Amino acid sequence: MLAGADAPQALTRAEAFSYWLKLGFISFGGPAGQIAIMHEELVERRRWISENRFLHALNYCMVLPGPEAQQLATYIGWLMHRTWGGIVAGGLFVLPSLFILITLSWVYMAFGKLPAIAGLFYGIKPAVTALVVHAAWRVGSRALKNAWLWGIAAAAFVAIFALSLPFPLIVLAAGVIGYVGGRVAPDKFKTGGGHGQSAKGFGPALIDDHTPTPPHALFSWARLRKVLVVFLGLWAAAMAALVAVFGWEGVLTQMGWFFTKAALLTFGGAYAVLPYVYQGAVDHYHWLTAAQMIDGLALGETTPGPLIMVVSFVGFVGGWTKAIFGSDLLFLAGAAAATVVTFFTFLPSFFFILLGGPFIESTHGNLKFTAPLTGITAAVVGVIVNLAVFFAWHVLWPQGQGGRFEWPAAVIGLAAALALFRFKAGVIPVVLGSGVVGLLWTLAHPWIG
């Protein structure tokens, strides 16, 4: 796009609705892929928002607990069309995936023990591990533009992998380093690292670098109080309803409470939150097994929407396994649990954007605020690498240390990585191709082994 091009025409709500609905069905590839899709459409092609404003919003979403891609869509929708735009953009990012995952989760629970289904998942699991590694590379290639940021990413990996430090502490330390680094070496902590995509010109945008903040995005105490009351009221009403119907120890109530904590206490998007969800859902509540958790991630990788939608799978399997409505209503139990989990997981995401957006809009271009966010984005890369190691361990040694090494899974994973890195293959072909190979190996294994 030439720098001298005319600015795009004003955007109607109908046009925005159409795009956000389309995005909900095509947003494959996890957070890295979804952010890339939005960047290509909104910054490069449609020019609804400038590169720097896009990256500034992204850095804010990266520091928030919750799914950064969905929050970024919510932020941009809100910036363009007020609260209505934010709710539509964020909601349509999630709803198609919810309906698809409920259907796929039912197929998995009803027919997952069939050899054909088990074989497909045998091949998909190592492909998912390769996808996580690829996601780390994609995010890192955008965020790690100099030795300072590489150092933060490496330190974050060591902190979470070797020292088992909590991620909120890592986020805080990265933010402090970013703040100090922004004062000591400001060129190293500018948005985009000084020589990222922000150096490209795509032409004037509807919301350009110097476009004044729209009136609805200006900070006011009255608006802040209104947002607080509405969202706290929604959460309290939903939780009170679950307690009244099922009691505090009920499965759905505990799911609502656990995934509220997951949404509030975990940072770095889907890849960072999954170890926390694993610990709670598998080890503590026993809603599903470790193998089912990895299978759920495989389904999440192959459906549109944020990768954290794997929590809907967790909810469905937990509701089904616990038979919360009796043994004759397993699908209804799973669907209800998936819906409850999705509501409590994503409600805080809308809250954070609508509450913090006005403040963030007042800071774009201000290095004092952007440098800590740049440091935190770098730390997230290290956390994603840690998750790749976590999944590789469970896929290649499913029986734990001392168990059999799954060399066929290793071969499938390496082939998937080659397809992603060398041949730039898409997520869906890689996952489906790996599933087919896993199926063929499983069916042939009795004769080969």
Contact 395, 116 (CB under 8 A): no
Which residue in the block uniquely carries the two structure tokens 């997981």? 345
Contact 108, 333 (CB under 8 A): no
Note the pLDDT of residue 440. 92
How many whole angstroms separate alpha carbon 355 and alpha carbon 352? Answer: 5
Tell me the whole-structure pTM to 2 decimals: 0.73
How confident is the prediction for the chain on average, in pLDDT? Answer: 84
Task: Using alpha carbons only, give the angle 328, 332, 336 rounded to the nearest 5 degrees.
Answer: 145
Note the pLDDT of residue 424. 85
Contact 56, 191 (CB under 8 A): yes
Torsion angle of C-alpha atoms 402, 408, 411, 415, degrees rounded to 10: -140
Per-residue pLDDT of the chain (449 residues; tens, 9 = 90+): 444 567 677 788 899 999 999 888 877 656 766 887 788 888 888 889 988 888 888 878 877 778 888 999 999 999 999 999 999 999 999 999 999 999 999 999 988 777 777 788 788 888 878 887 887 787 788 778 899 999 999 999 999 888 878 766 887 898 899 889 988 888 888 754 333 344 456 678 888 878 888 888 888 899 999 999 999 999 999 999 999 999 999 999 999 999 998 888 766 566 667 777 888 898 889 999 888 888 887 787 778 888 788 899 999 999 999 999 999 999 999 999 999 999 999 999 999 999 988 888 876 656 666 688 788 878 878 877 887 887 788 788 877 777 889 999 999 999 999 998 999 887 778 888 998 999 899 888 754 43
